[in-house]
């Protein structure tokens, strides 16, 4: 036998165990060494959820880099509305956290246009003796993976309740089953990665994998010019209703939501979870097609004939034609959508809404949550003892003919200001029914609350500009087409000038809102100036100068008692 290390079978038992232990330890030692080397070199970050406010360390706010946990390809990260809250919670404080995606964050208005800010203001008026804190952690393009990953850090901040409005991003949100930022479709694998991703070795490995993937696919890492985050997140466009990928998205949502609700339940934290709403009537499906085995040419001819009857003002004949098509195949979203139009023209509104919802479910570009998401929300909430807030029903009840459309939605799924207020109103009433916080002796009627929301004209116009930008590219425009109309917009007054400067990132929100406040004050409109001043306080509760400016405006209105508080 050649000389060298003797086979382990010839070693004494004690030495054999030591040898085996060393062999097993070598990979661990190697990774420990590599981890230490990467940390010493400054590679990677921890990205905690909350960090101290610079210069005001007695307050915390959401780390603007926390989304780096979920986005590797993206250079421009989504962020929350950066609610500041006390680092040390006192006994007078009632603290709620909000979780969700862009709708929960208040896109496209953010700030006073988010439902959380509307709710916080109303609750503070309802309980003037308490300090109400609502910390909104929602970000665009995230889904249930992010919600679950952030839960432990939210729990560390002693929430009195958690509010959830989420479900639209389950397919294309970061790490979703059809996302460009996907790690695969095994839920255990993705959640394991999220638990380990603070390790520098794991971060380095993911960066290498992303670069290798970009090289192999012939794509340059980074965003194509003019694209939106919505466009960049889509990894797989067509996901037919009932397909394996469709079901995987539902399984992903159910599993993560079950774990999330269980985590809060085990800590005794009440959860209020909203059903998700979208544009039912006024948004045609993005991608529509019959089943693969259907003769497309014959199908298209019959569909065009039915639509011609509808456009000619003959909804009864059109309805019969649509029903005949659906008797042959029930996968085409456009047939259900136009059928809803025919039913609505016949004033059969309940049946029309059902057809619009069926069209949404069959839209193969999965930006809007299918109704199965709301079913899962109800089932998992019942399982965990969470409270379902039927925000979808609240919007439908307020919508024309009971069908949610452009009266409450800006595009496919983001509410307008009235829509966001209705979501806030639904959560307000749910908290009241649960009897949280204390005696509701100073109940604020919805009409009063709606009139006093702290959404400035600059925020509102900024939202209009954001939606125009979003709808100027795919999927609202054909692939490769970008509408640059916003590039030529010119301001005609001070509000437009400030909103454009904010939109074009020539000015930050604090500067724009401060200038708006001063503009109104100089023109003698102290009421509008005060609203802007209060919006600044809501965003920056730690700034003494913000309170001083509001106090001065109250004095100018001879509201002396309020100025002293």
| Main-chain dihedrals φ then ψ at residue 278, nearest 5 degrees | -150, 180
Does a structural domain hold residue 287? no
Same-domain pairing of 14 and 123: no
Residue 438 structural domain:
50-281+368-451
Enclosing H/E stretch for 135: strand 131-136
Residue for token pair 């993937």: 213
- Which of 71, 156, 141 is closest to 103 using CA atoms? 141
Indicate whether 133 and 29 sit together in one domain.
no
Statement to judge: residues 224 and 198 lie in one domain = yes
Residues 347 and 394 in one domain: no
Domain boundary among 307, 329, 362: 362
Supply angle C-alpha 460, 174, 100, rounded to 5.
50
- Asked which of 362, 377, 397 is the last residue of a domain, the reply is 362
- According to the model, what pLDDT value does residue 222 have? 45
321 and 208 within one domain = no
- Residue 220: per-residue pLDDT: 44
332 domain-assigned: yes
Same domain, 350 and 378: no
Instruction: List the structure tokens of 196.
Output: 């380990």
Record the pTM.
0.92
Q: What is the CATH number of the domain that holds 322?
A: 1.25.40.10
Residue 223 pLDDT = 46
pLDDT of residue 225: 57
245 and 392 both lie in a single domain: yes
Q: Which of 399, 420, 451 is the last residue of a domain?
A: 451
In a domain, 286, yes or no: no
Report if residue 142 sits inside a domain.
yes
307 neighbors 199 (Cβ within 8 angstroms): no
Q: Is residue 276 part of a domain?
A: yes
CATH assignment at residue 162 = 3.40.50.1110
Same domain for 481 and 412? no
- Only one residue has tokens 């995987």, namely 248
CB count in 10 Å sphere of residue 24: 9
The answer to whether residues 462 and 434 belong to one domain is no
Domain assignment present for 511: yes
- Nearest 5 degrees, angle CA 438-CA 439-CA 440? 110
User: Is 197 inside a domain boundary?
Assistant: yes
Regarding whether 545 and 404 lie in a shared domain, the answer is no
pLDDT at position 390: 99
- Residue 288 resides in a domain: no
User: pLDDT 10s per residue in the chain (565 long)?
Assistant: 455 555 555 667 777 777 677 677 777 666 676 657 766 787 778 899 999 999 999 999 999 999 999 998 777 899 999 999 999 999 999 999 999 999 999 999 999 999 999 999 999 999 999 999 999 999 999 999 999 999 999 999 999 999 999 999 999 999 999 998 888 889 999 999 999 888 877 788 777 877 776 666 554 444 455 678 888 888 889 999 999 999 999 999 999 999 999 999 999 999 999 999 999 999 999 999 999 999 999 999 999 999 999 999 999 999 999 999 999 999 999 999 999 999 999 999 999 999 999 999 999 999 999 999 999 999 999 999 999 999 999 999 999 999 999 999 999 999 999 999 999 999 999 999 999 999 999 999 999 999 999 999 999 999 999 999 999 999 999 988 888 889 899 999 999 999 999 999 999 999 999 999 999 999 999 999 999 999 999 999 999 999 999 999 999 998 888 887 7
Domain total of the chain = 4
**346 shares its domain with 444:** no
Same domain, residue pair 33 and 85: no
Long-range contacts of 180-187 (CB under 8 A, 24+ apart): 180/73, 180/232, 180/233, 180/234, 180/235, 181/70, 181/71, 181/72, 181/73, 181/74, 181/233, 181/235, 182/235, 185/248, 185/252, 187/251, 187/252, 187/255, 187/256
């Amino acid at each position: 036998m050649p000389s060298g290390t003797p086979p382990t079978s010839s070693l004494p038992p004690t030495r054999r165990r030591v040898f085996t232990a060393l062999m097993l330890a070598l990979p661990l030692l190697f990774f420990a060494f590599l981890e230490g080397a990467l940390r010493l070199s400054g590679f990677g970050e921890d990205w905690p959820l909350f960090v101290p406010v610079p210069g005001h360390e007695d307050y915390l706010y959401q780390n603007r880099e926390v989304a780096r946990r979920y986005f590797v390809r993206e250079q421009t990260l989504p962020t929350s509305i950066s609610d500041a809250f006390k680092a040390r919670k006192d006994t007078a404080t009632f603290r709620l956290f909000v979780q969700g995606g862009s709708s929960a964050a208040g896109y496209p208005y953010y700030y006073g246009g988010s439902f959380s800010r509307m709710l916080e203001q109303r609750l503070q008026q309802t309980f003037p003796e308490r300090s109400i804190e609502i910390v909104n952690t929602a970000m665009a393009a995230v889904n249930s993976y992010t919600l679950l990953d952030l839960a432990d850090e939210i729990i560390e901040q002693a929430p009195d309740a958690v509010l959830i409005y989420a479900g639209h991003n389950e397919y294309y949100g970061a790490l979703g089953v059809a996302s460009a930022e996907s790690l695969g479709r095994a839920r255990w694998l993705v959640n394991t990665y999220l638990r380990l991703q603070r390790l520098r070795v794991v971060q380095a490995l993911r960066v290498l994998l992303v670069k290798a993937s970009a090289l192999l696919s012939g794509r340059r890492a980074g965003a194509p010019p003019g694209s939106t985050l919505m466009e960049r997140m889509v990894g797989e466009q067509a996901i037919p209703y009932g397909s394996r990928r469709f079901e995987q998205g539902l399984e992903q949502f159910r599993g993560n939501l079950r774990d999330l609700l269980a985590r809060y339940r085990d800590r005794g934290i009440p959860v209020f979870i909203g059903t998700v709403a979208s544009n039912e009537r006024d948004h045609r499906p993005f991608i529509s097609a019959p089943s693969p085995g259907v003769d497309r040419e014959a199908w298209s001819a019959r569909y065009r004939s039915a639509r011609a009857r509808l456009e000619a003002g003959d909804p009864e004949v059109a309805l019969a034609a649509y029903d005949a098509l659906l008797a042959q195949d029930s996968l085409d979203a456009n047939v259900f959508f136009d059928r809803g139009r025919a039913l609505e023209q016949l004033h059969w509104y309940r049946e029309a809404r059902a057809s619009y919802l069926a069209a949404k479910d069959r839209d193969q570009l999965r930006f809007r949550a299918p109704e199965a998401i709301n079913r899962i929300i109800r089932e998992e909430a019942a399982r965990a003892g969470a409270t379902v807030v039927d925000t979808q029903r609240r919007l439908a009840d307020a919508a024309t003919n009971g069908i949610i459309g452009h009266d409450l939605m800006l595009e496919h799924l983001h509410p307008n200001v009235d829509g966001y207020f209705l979501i806030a109103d639904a959560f307000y009433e749910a908290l009241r029914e649960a009897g949280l916080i204390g005696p509701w002796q100073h109940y604020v009627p919805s009409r009063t609350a709606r009139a006093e929301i702290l959404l400035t004209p600059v925020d509102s116009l900024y939202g209009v500009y954001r939606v125009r930008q979003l709808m100027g590219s795919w999927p609202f425009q054909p692939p490769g087409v970008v509408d640059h109309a916003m590039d030529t917009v010119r301001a005609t007054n001070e509000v437009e000038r400030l909103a454009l400067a904010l939109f074009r990132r020539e000015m930050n929100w604090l500067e724009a809102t401060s200038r708006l406040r001063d503009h109104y004050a100089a023109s003698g409109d102290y009421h509008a100036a005060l609203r802007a001043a209060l919006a600044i306080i809501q965003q920056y509760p730690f700034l003494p100068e913000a309170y001083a400016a509001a106090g001065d405006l109250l004095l100018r209105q001879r509201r002396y008692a309020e100025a002293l508080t």
